[in-house]
């Protein structure tokens, strides 16, 4: 056990809170979550209303600037972003260097880090115009980078962005279009992806966002701070869960669709066996984002011709879990990732791209939180304390005498 007196350092009391379950790292005016009631609001607006009526770029503006844009502001914002979608030709060559079977997430974070080498005129965190420029550059270029990371793994040529298209249309065309044939952009696909991006746009101090803030608190530039967030999101307990859900569902189907056996293995805590897409640090109720995705999953999958077998399996699994004491006692409900993978798959994305799509959605949140952190006079460099549990002082023993 720990000696409590060790918790008293020379500078006062040190709290020990593994995983920061009860420790606030910051004040923030961006996103409100009530985990017990299942409420999520961006800048005061309920996620359900934004999902119903807004667009991803409008929500991005709201998160970053704090207010909904006027029609004029929105136009200017969308058109400015549409003019920054191209990548430097030298940066495009990066994609050649990665192995063909590279996972697109580290490709994404590497390319975002590299933005700070190509766009050195927008790196100063304390010059407002530079922060504006890096904000616009990131929002405009991440879809291009994301599409290229997909093309790379498919061994397909990279398409230039078409700036007459909207952000989501452009991303879909760069992901799925071919230079020789005009790509028909399905408006239902655009609407569905735009909705999913809105649902992922911010989620207060989650692992990747806290990472972006922590890196940024050292006054690292916005590009490299966001790259660090992308790497955090890659983890299967965070953004990687949407990919893991589909693997889990496929595994259950391949073993004959035996849900009861799978749930038993989860409850027995077999190493590595979790009900992926279930549980959340903050929500002890149905994740409001999962509720929206579930409501729309049926119609989206019907439109796109998705995998009904896996959707049925997911629904059965949810039903079994929600009526099982193990999950009830622990307040484990589906999170946003439980149904999104099925939709992404129906859209034609390979499962390795799912977390990349999450990153596209989360980008405005990372940017808004980094900017809030940089502009907050209370910000200090993030530097947690520790409780040391190692040896006391001991004398060095030369190698020949050990
Ligand atoms: N399946 C089975 N049991 C679970 C699950 C799950 N998905 N999630 C939590 N539990 C159990 C734990 O084993 C623990 O049980 P115990 O008290 O008997 O030891 C109890 O519920 C509490 O769980 P913790 O691990 O303490 O919860 P924590 O807040 O640390 O973890 C997390 C939250 C990481 C999301 C966890 O629920 C999990 O691993 N879920 C699966 C992965 C996932 O879906 N991640 C996506 C998160 S949302 C997002 O990033 C968009």
Ligand 1 center–CA 291 separation, angstroms: 19
Ligand 1 atom 49, closest CA: 238
Ligand 1 center–CA 280 separation, angstroms: 6
**Catalytic entry in 34, 337, 376, 391:** 337
Q: Helix 337-347 vs helix 354-375: angle between axes, to the nearest 10 degrees?
A: 120
pLDDT of residue 1: 46
Which atom of ligand 1 is least distant from the CA of 278? 7
Ligand 1 atom 37, closest CA: 279
Alpha-carbon distance of 307 to 132, in angstroms, equals: 42
Which atom of ligand 1 is least distant from the CA of 200? 51
pLDDT of residue 302: 83
pLDDT of residue 222: 98
The helix or strand, by DSSP H or E, that contains position 8, with its residue range, turns out to be strand 8-9
Ligand 1 atom 15, closest CA: 330
Ligand 1 atom 14, closest CA: 330
Ligand 1 atom 31, closest CA: 281
pLDDT of residue 305: 79
Which atom of ligand 1 is least distant from the CA of 266? 2
8-9 and 31-34 as β-strands: parallel, antiparallel, unpaired? Answer: unpaired
* Cα R_g (the chain), whole angstroms: 23
Ligand 1 center–CA 279 separation, angstroms: 5
The answer to whether 332 and 279 are in contact (CB under 8 A) is: yes
Ligand 1 atom 22, closest CA: 330
pLDDT of residue 2: 52
Ligand 1 center–CA 357 separation, angstroms: 22
Ligand 1 center–CA 47 separation, angstroms: 23
Residue 310: name the closest of 250, 245, 240 by CA.
250
pLDDT of residue 353: 95
pLDDT of residue 298: 80
- Tokens matching residue 290: 């999962």
* Concatenated DSSP letters of 38-61: TEEEETTEEHHHHHHH--HHHHHH
| Residues of the chain by 3-state class (helix, strand, coil), percent to 5 | 60, 5, 35
Q: pLDDT tens per residue, the chain (402 residues)?
A: 455 555 555 567 899 999 999 999 999 999 999 999 999 999 999 999 999 999 999 999 999 999 999 999 999 999 999 999 999 999 999 999 999 889 999 999 999 999 999 999 999 999 999 999 999 999 999 999 999 999 988 888 899 999 999 999 999 999 999 876 778 889 999 999 999 999 999 999 999 999 999 999 999 999 999 999 999 999 988 888 888 999 999 999 998 889 999 999 999 999 989 999 999 989 999 999 999 998 888 888 888 877 778 888 999 999 999 999 999 999 999 999 899 998 999 899 999 999 999 999 999 999 999 999 999 999 999 999 999 999 999 999 999 999
**Catalytic entry in 150, 203, 280, 287:** 280
Ligand 1 center–CA 168 separation, angstroms: 32
203 is catalytic: no
pLDDT of residue 306: 73
Count the alpha carbons within 13 Å of 360 in the hemisphere toward its beta carbon: 26
The helix or strand, by DSSP H or E, that contains position 31, with its residue range, turns out to be strand 31-34
Probe ligand 1: pick from 245, 267, 279, 334, max atoms within 8 Å of CB? 279
| 3 state DSSP class of 278 | strand
| 3 state DSSP class of 257 | coil
pTM of structure: 0.92
Residues having CB closer than 6 A to ligand 1 are 19, 237-239, 241, 266, 274-281, 330, 332, 335-337
280 is catalytic: yes
Alpha-carbon distance of 140 to 160, in angstroms, equals: 13
Ligand 1 atom 3, closest CA: 274
pLDDT of residue 180: 66
39-42 and 45-46 as β-strands: parallel, antiparallel, unpaired? Answer: antiparallel
Alpha-carbon distance of 388 to 7, in angstroms, equals: 9
Ligand 1 center–CA 3 separation, angstroms: 29
């Amino acid at each position: 056990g720990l000696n409590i007196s060790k918790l008293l350092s020379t500078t006062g009391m040190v709290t020990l809170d593994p995983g920061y379950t009860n420790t606030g790292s910051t004040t923030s005016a961006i996103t409100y979550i009530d985990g017990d009631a299942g409420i999520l609001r961006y800048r005061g607006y309920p996620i359900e209303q934004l999902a119903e009526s807004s667009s991803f770029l409008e929500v991005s503006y709201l998160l970053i600037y704090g207010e909904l844009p006027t029609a004029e502001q929105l136009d200017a914002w969308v058109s400015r972003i549409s003019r920054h979608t191209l990548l430097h030709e030298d940066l495009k060559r990066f994609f050649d260097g990665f192995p063909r079977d590279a996972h697109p997430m580290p490709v994404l974070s590497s390319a975002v880090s590299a933005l700070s080498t190509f766009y050195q005129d927008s790196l100063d965190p304390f010059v407002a115009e530079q922060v504006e420029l890096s904000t616009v550059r990131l929002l405009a270029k991440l879809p291009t980078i994301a599409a290229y990371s997909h093309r790379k793994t498919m061994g397909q040529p990279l398409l230039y962005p078409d700036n007459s298209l909207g952000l989501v249309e452009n991303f879909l065309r760069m992901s799925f279009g071919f230079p020789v044939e005009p790509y028909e952009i399905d408006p239902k696909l655009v609407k569905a992806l735009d909705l999913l991006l809105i649902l992922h746009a911010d989620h207060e101090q989650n692992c990747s966002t806290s990472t972006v803030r922590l890196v940024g608190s050292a006054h690292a530039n916005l590009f490299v701070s966001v790259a660090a967030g992308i790497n955090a999101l890659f983890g299967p307990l965070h953004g990687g869960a949407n990919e893991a859900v589909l693997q889990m569902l496929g595994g259950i189907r391949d073993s004959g669709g035996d849900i009861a056996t799978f749930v038993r293995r989860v409850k027995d805590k077999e190493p590595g066996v979790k009900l992926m897409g279930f549980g959340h640090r903050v929500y002890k109720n149905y994740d409001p984002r999962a509720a929206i995705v579930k409501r729309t999953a049926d119609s989206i999958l019907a439109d796109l011709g998705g995998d009904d077998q896996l959707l049925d399996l997911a629904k059965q699994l949810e039903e079994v879990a929600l009526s099982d004491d193990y999950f009830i006692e622990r307040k484990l409900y589906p999170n946003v990732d439980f149904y999104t993978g099925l939709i992404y798959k129906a859209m034609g994305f390979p499962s390795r791209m799912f977390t990349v799509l999450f990153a596209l959605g989360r980008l405005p949140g990372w940017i808004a939180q980094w900017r809030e952190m940089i502009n907050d006079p209370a910000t200090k460099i993030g530097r947690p304390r520790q409780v040391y549990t190692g040896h006391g002082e001991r004398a060095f023993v030369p190698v020949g005498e050990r």
